[in-house]
Amino acid sequence: MNVTEKQGILIVEDDASLREAICDTLELAGRTVFCASGGTEALAILAAQKITIVISDVRMSPMDGIALLREIRQRQPQLPVLLMTAYAEVDKAVEAMRSGACDFLLKPFEPSALLAQIDKYALPEPGAILGVIAVDPVSINLFGIAGRVAQTDATVLLTGESGVGKEVVARFIHKNSARKEGPFVAINCAAIPENLLEATLFGYEKGAFTGAQTAQAGKFEQAQDGSLLLDEVTEMPLSLQAKLLRVLQEREVERVGGKKPIRLNIRVIATSNRDMTAAVRRGAFREDLYYRLNVFPILIPALRQRPADIAPLARHFVQEHGASIGRSGLSLSAQAEAALTAYPWPGNVRELENTLQRAMILAPGKIIEAKALSLAPSPAIPPLAEEEKLQDAEKSADNGNMKDLEREHILRTLAEVRGSRKATAERLGISDRTLRYKLKQYKEEGYLQD
């Protein structure tokens, strides 16, 4: 076996003639193929090669296809596995799907059917993911999963630290779905005042409230036949969460002041940078709504968890922003790229982009050196870590002390950033609206002066 890493398809079949026929078919179609006569050999190939999909027979000895599937799930949980059998056994098909098989192929099958299944489920090769930068294996797996769920209409919940690129993944899902010709509508639930959020989401009829001089379709209606992104959904008030739950359950919406329900044909994608299960436990987010949104959860790794993406992303931002600031033709030195890759990026991709924009202004020549990056030796604590501190404080105190600890932490953070509310919200990992509410409360209670 060639131990040089290559990207390819792994065929596992104990029938030598059939194995050779399948491999020949795929090679004639221009695919890179690795062949194994059994489970043990297949696992050895998986350890040495980059495999995009495993296609395995079910009836093999001593390790059958189901046992191999379970072993692969332990080692590479994101890798798609397609099982094939000459026997139309319903119980085996059910067991395979429950064990994590992406699909079941009944022999004999046409070459076109096999190729169609591979194209449907295989993880994309590096550089083959259109519209995104995904070089690190973690990112390749992420967008492979996103591409597969894009083929369905399942509701998707994207979670991860602030700045990891949740909207990028959401747009990728939309562009790779059957709804790609429809609209992609995004709404930031944290950015709209509570008294306007309902009308913005659901729309309103003329005269529904003061100032409603004409009827207006809401974001749900605007996303008809497309996708709706509910960004930072955990910032939605509880009163609106109940209404959102009903819309998701009934797939219809009523405008504010209206009486006629409007049927919806949309795909919903929600995002959050919070620990949503903790929010449910605290009573800040409805449990039934959480399960309604959490149909297909995708956790987006932090940038520090996919370091191979850092330099390609940095080059992309240099090229993207160069023209807009009048500095086209800039490039990064090898030392600068090494410094970027070594930095932990608490602010993730958003911080990386901001850093590159600043460096492009500061760089004296055509080459951006490490010095121009101005990377801090001790980066700020990631927002999620700050939020976890608040949650830990809540867990360790009774209800009476909880508010005191939270107030002290917020006011101390505000003082550390010299009164900057934006910096305070970013460091705490809370929305500007939530911070405004807290500070107003502290002023009324006499803990904060103007």
pLDDT digits (tens, 9 = 90+) for 313-345: 999 899 888 878 888 888 999 999 999 999 999
Q: What is the pLDDT of residue 437?
A: 76
Model's pTM, two decimal places? 0.62
pLDDT band at 168 (very low <50, low <70, confident <90, very high): very high
Least confident of 97-111, 152-166, 236-250: 97-111
Sheet strands (E) in 180-233: 184-188, 203-204, 216-217, 227-231
Average confidence (pLDDT) over 238-246: 92
41-74 confidence digits (pLDDT tens)? 999 999 888 888 999 998 888 998 889 998 988 8
As a whole number of angstroms, the distance between CA 97 and CA 99 comes to 5
Residue 355 lies in a domain: yes
83-97 confidence digits (pLDDT tens)? 887 765 556 666 666
Q: Of the candidates 93, 121, 149, which is a domain's last residue? A: 121
Q: Which is higher by pLDDT, 127 or 54?
A: 54
* pLDDT exceeds cutoff 80 at 157: yes
Name 50's bridge partners: 7
List the CATH number of the domain containing 312: 1.10.8.60
Least confident of 2-11, 208-217, 396-405: 396-405
Cis peptide before 80, with omega less than 30 degrees from 0? Answer: no
Least confident of 103-112, 191-200, 285-294, 386-395: 386-395
Instruction: Decide: 389 and 278 in contact? Cβ < 8 Å.
Output: no
75-124 confidence digits (pLDDT tens)? 887 688 888 877 655 566 666 666 677 777 888 888 888 888 887 777 66
Least confident of 22-31, 75-84, 92-101, 230-239: 92-101
Instruction: Decide: 156 and 145 in contact? Cβ < 8 Å.
Output: no
* DSSP assignment string, 398-412: -HHHHHHHHHHHHHH
Name 10's bridge partners: 34, 54
Q: Could you tell me if 64 and 203 lie in one domain?
A: no
The four Cα atoms 425, 429, 431, 436 give a dihedral, to 10 degrees, of -40
List the CATH number of the domain containing 284: 3.40.50.300
As a whole number of angstroms, the distance between CA 291 and CA 412 comes to 35
Q: Of the candidates 299, 329, 349, which is a domain's last residue? A: 299
As a whole number of angstroms, the distance between CA 78 and CA 81 comes to 9
Q: Could you tell me if 175 and 286 lie in one domain?
A: yes
- Expressed as residue numbers, the domain containing 117 is 7-121
272: Cβ–Cβ under 8 A, 6 or more apart, which residues?
A: 157, 158, 159, 232, 233, 234
Task: Count up the domains in the chain and report the number.
Answer: 4
